[in-house]
A = this chain, B = another copy of it.
């Protein structure tokens, strides 16, 4: 194992982490390549060598975000005992500071979505990611309703899509004004969506 490879990997990791932070808090176009390199304690030369530029860096960031967010959904949720607790955990994850990306992961979520909505190449990647989310949330969702005696879901993935939609839209409003929505309101809404699809 060469030391070169370690340093290379760390440089790459540092640059992506710095990009995630800065792109989220200031926006992609508002951040210069030099600022990212400086925050990562590297130089623009290293950035261009690794990613070819700011765009390549953003693409790499999306890829890592893809993997990471797939895991996030399931963590914490499975620790809860009943449906109510699981839904509460989902909402908590949506608004709580995140371990790796801090309290700005929600900003990154929308920053990436905006780039995808404006660029077809990004859109395909992100669309796949959302499909993956719906799929991975749909499975446990169907199981939970069974546990609660609500019957099975007719369309687990479609319901998962609605659940994710409500979480995102509620988080938007919560970010602007935390008093505008209570946790109970959101959880009640999530439950209504789920029960509406349970037979």
Stretch at the interface among A43-51, A81-89, A111-119: A111-119
Q: State which of B131, B162, B189 has its C-beta within 8 Å of the C-beta of A177.
A: B131
Q: Is there a chain B Cβ closer than 8 Å to A140's Cβ? A: no
Nearest Cβ in chain B — how far from A28, in angstroms?
A: 8
> Would B192 and A114 count as touching, CB distance under 8 A?
no
Q: Which of A140-184 contact B (CB under 8 A)?
A: 155, 158, 161-162, 164-170, 172-173, 175-177, 180-182
Point out the residues of chain B lying under 8 angstroms from A175, CB to CB: 117
Count of residues in A whose CB is under 8 Å from the partner chain: 50
Q: Give the interface segment out of A6-14, A56-64, A67-75, A122-130.
A: A122-130
Residues of B within 8 A of A162 (CB): 166, 170, 181, 185-186, 189
Whether A139 sits at the interface, judged by CB under 8 Å, is no
Q: Does A199 contact B (CB under 8 A)?
A: no
Minimal beta-carbon separation of A125 from chain B (angstroms): 10
Q: Which of A87-121 contact B (CB under 8 A)?
A: 106-107, 110-111, 113-114, 116-118
Q: Does A18 touch B at the CB level, under 8 Å? A: no
Q: Would you call A1 an interface residue if the criterion is a C-beta within 8 Å of the partner chain's C-beta atoms?
A: no
Q: Could you tell me the distance between the alpha carbons of A134 and B179 in the complex, rounded to whole angstroms?
A: 13
* Given A117-B175, A167-B169, A169-B164, A192-B196 contact (CB < 8 Å): yes
Could you pull out 7 A-B pairs where Cβ atoms are within 8 angstroms? A27-B29, A107-B117, A110-B113, A110-B114, A127-B176, A155-B185, A166-B193
Interface residues of A (CB under 8 A from B): 25-30, 106-107, 110-111, 113-114, 116-118, 123, 126-127, 130-131, 134, 155, 158, 161-162, 164-170, 172-173, 175-177, 180-182, 185-186, 188-189, 191-193, 195-197
List the 4 closest pairs (A to B, CB-CB), nearest first: A165-B169, A192-B196, A29-B29, A168-B169
